Chains A and B, each alone.
Chain A
C-alpha cells in the first residue's frame, strides 16, 4: 500500500506527467522512423537527462522506450515499412488490412493491442519483478536453441499448400543469418574483408528491403492503371466490440508470449512478435484469414512486442542485466545519476522505482490520446497519389537505412533485399518463413553450438535441460500436427492447389 501512496505523491510533486507525455511522443516518432531503433531514439535523449533529477530522467527514457515499441507499427501498417524489426510481424496483416481500405481499423487494433501489452508488461514489472526474475535463470543455451526450433516449427503451418516454397524460403533466411562473424570461433563467414558485413547483416535492413522496397518495385513496375489504393477511413478507428472480442484471444496469447520472452535476455521483441503471430494463427478459429488482413494477426504481435518491452525491464531491475539495446541505454540513464539497478536498488532507493513505475503507467495511458492526435495526419499522408507515395517511401527507406550505420553499403543491401523480395513475389513464395529464418537463425545456431561446447559435443545436453525438452516436444507435436493436416487436405482434394506442395 505504501508503494501506491508514494507513487501518487510522486505524481503530483515531480515532473513525471510531462516527462511521460514528452517521452511517449518522442518515442512514437522515433519508432515510426525506419532506421531509428528504439535504442537510438533513447540514446538521443541521454544528454538531456544529465541535468535532470533521476525520477523525471528515468520516466522520460522509459516512456520513450515504450512509445518507440508502439511507433514501429505505424509505417508497417501504412506503407509496408517496419519502423522497428519487431513491427515486421504486425505488418503482414496490417498492410493487408490497409490494402482493403481498413487502415484506420488496423491502426486502432494495433493501438489497443499495444496498450494492453503495455499494461500487462508494466503490471508484471511492478508486481512480479522478484519472482519472475528467477525464471530468467532457468534459461540455458540449450533452452534458447529449443525455443528457436519451436519458432521455426511454425513454418510448416504458415506455408500451408506450399510447403516446399516455405522451407526453401526459410533456408534462405537462415543462410542470410550466417553472414558475419561466427558466434563460436570468431572467424568471418561470407564477409570477404567487407567491414560492413563483419557484424552481420542487420535484420531491419533486410526486412525493409524485402517488404518496402519489394512493394515499391512491384507497384512501380505495375503499369496498368490500378484502382487507387485507399487507406479507407482517414481517421483512426477504435476497434468495435465484435472486433475486440475477436482479438481477445490474440491479445492474451501475445501478452503471455511477451511476458516470457521479456524475462529472458536474448530472445527479444522481434522473436516475441513473430512467435505471437504464428501462435495466434495456430490457435485461431479463422487461421485462413491470416496473411489476408486478419485482425488477430495485427493484435497478437503488437501486444507481444509491447508486453516484451515492459517485462524486459525485469532483468535490468532485478539483476542489473540489460537484455536489449534499449535497456542498455536505460542502464546508462540509471548510471548517469549514480544509480546501479539490481537487487540492492530495490531495497535502497525504492522511491525511484515507484516514480518510474507510475511514469510508465501515465505513459501508457497517454499513448491513446497521443496516437489519436498523430495518426490521422499519418493516414492523410499515405493517401496521396500513388507515384508520389512510392517515390517518398523510397526516399524515406533509404534515409532511414543510411542513418543506422552511415554506410552506403547498407543502402545497397536494402536494394538487394528489395530485388529478392520482388523475386519472391513473382514466384509466389511466402515471406514469413524467410523472415523467421532470418530472425531465429542466429539464436538457433549460436546456442546450438554453445550447448555442444559446454557438453563437449554430447547431444544429451538438449534432453537433460527440462526447458529445452518442453520446447522441443512442443515443436515435434506442432510439426506432426501440421504435417498430418497438410496430407489430409491433399488426399481430400487431390486436384487442389495443395498438390503443388
Chain B
C-alpha cells in the first residue's frame, strides 16, 4: 500500500478509537456550554474528516498518475529503504526498553541501568566482552552519582534494598 494512504488509514483509526473513548466522558451540571467532551469530540471528528480527505486525495492523485507516490519518493536518508527489516530491528530495541521498564523497580536502578547499557550496545553489534561490561558498570556508576548522590532522586533500590 502507498505509504501516505497507510498514514491516512492509521490516523482515521486513531480518530475512531479516540471518539469511542471520548464517548465515555461524563457530563456534569456545573460545566459549561461546551462540556468536558466538547473539545475532544471536535478533535476526533476533525481528525476523522482530515484523514478521510487525505486518503481520498491520495487515491485521486495515484489514479490520475500525477506526481510521484510516496514510495517512489523514498527517504533521502535511506533509513526506511527496507521498512520491514527496520521495523523488526526497532521492535527489538523497544522490547529491550520494555523489559528494562518492567523490571526497573524490582532490579533496582543501578543494575537495571547497567544491563540496559549492556543490552543496547550488544544489540547494536558491540562485542559482549569484559570491556563492555566494565563500560556498562562504569556508566551505571556515573548515572548513580548524578541522579542519586547529586540530585537526590529516590531511585528504586529493588531487591537490593534489604542488603544495604
State the A residues within 8 Å of B (CB): 30, 33, 36, 44, 164-165, 167-168, 171-172, 174-175, 178, 182, 184-185, 187, 189-190, 213, 216-218, 220-224, 386-388, 390-392, 394-396, 398-399, 402-403, 406, 408, 411-412, 415, 418-419, 422-423, 425-429, 445, 448-449, 452-453, 457, 494-497, 499-500
Contact B43 A175 (CB under 8 A): yes
A164 to B30, CA, bound (A): 37
A164 to B51, CA, bound (A): 8
Inter-chain contacts of A33 with B (CB < 8 A): 146, 151
Inter-chain contacts of A445 with B (CB < 8 A): 39
Complex A-B, nearest 9 residue pairs according to Cβ-Cβ distance, in ascending order: A391-B120, A387-B124, A221-B89, A221-B90, A499-B67, A457-B33, A427-B7, A403-B153, A164-B54
Inter-chain contacts of A391 with B (CB < 8 A): 116-118, 120-121, 124, 139
Where chain A touches its partner, the secondary structure class is helix
Contact A429 B7 (CB under 8 A): yes
A216 to B96, CA, bound (A): 12
Contact A398 B97 (CB under 8 A): yes
Inter-chain contacts of A425 with B (CB < 8 A): 79-80
Question: Given A412-B101, A497-B67, are A175 and B40 neighbors across the interface (CB < 8 Å)?
Answer: yes
Contact A168 B50 (CB under 8 A): yes
Inter-chain contacts of B109 with A (CB < 8 A): 399
Question: Given A33-B151, A168-B50, are A453 and B94 neighbors across the interface (CB < 8 Å)?
Answer: no
A182 to B85, CA, bound (A): 42
Question: Given contacts A449-B38, A452-B34, A494-B66, could you give 9 more A-B pairs where the C-beta distance is less than 8 Å?
Answer: A164-B53, A175-B44, A190-B21, A394-B120, A403-B147, A423-B10, A425-B79, A428-B3, A499-B61
The A-contacting residues of B in range 11-37, CB under 8 angstroms, are 11, 14, 18, 21-22, 25-26, 28, 30-37
Instruction: Among A178, A189, A395, find the residue whose CB has the most chain B CB atoms closer than 10 A.
Output: A395
Q: Pick from A164, A221, A500: contact of B50, CB below 8 A.
A: A164
Contact A495 B39 (CB under 8 A): no
Contact B121 A44 (CB under 8 A): no
Ordered by A's residue number, 7 sampled pairs between the chains whose C-beta atoms are within 8 Å are A168-B8, A185-B31, A187-B28, A187-B36, A415-B97, A497-B67, A500-B67
Inter-chain contacts of A175 with B (CB < 8 A): 14, 18, 40, 43-44, 47
Q: Pick from B4, B36, B47: contact of A427, CB below 8 A.
A: B4
Contact B43 A174 (CB under 8 A): yes
Q: What is the CB-to-nearest-CB distance from A213 to chain B, in angstroms, rounded to a whole number?
A: 8
Where chain B touches its partner, the secondary structure class is helix
B6 within 8 A of A: yes
Contact A224 B75 (CB under 8 A): no
Inter-chain contacts of B117 with A (CB < 8 A): 391-392, 394-395
Inter-chain contacts of B85 with A (CB < 8 A): 223
B57-76 interface mask toward A, CB cutoff 8 Å, 1 = contact, 0 = none? 11001000011101001010
B160 within 8 A of A: no
Q: Pick from A172, A388, A398: contact of B47, CB below 8 A.
A: A172
Instruction: Among A221, A390, A406, find the residue whose CB has the most chain B CB atoms closer than 10 A.
Output: A221
Inter-chain contacts of B94 with A (CB < 8 A): 217, 415, 418-419
Inter-chain contacts of B116 with A (CB < 8 A): 391, 394-395, 398
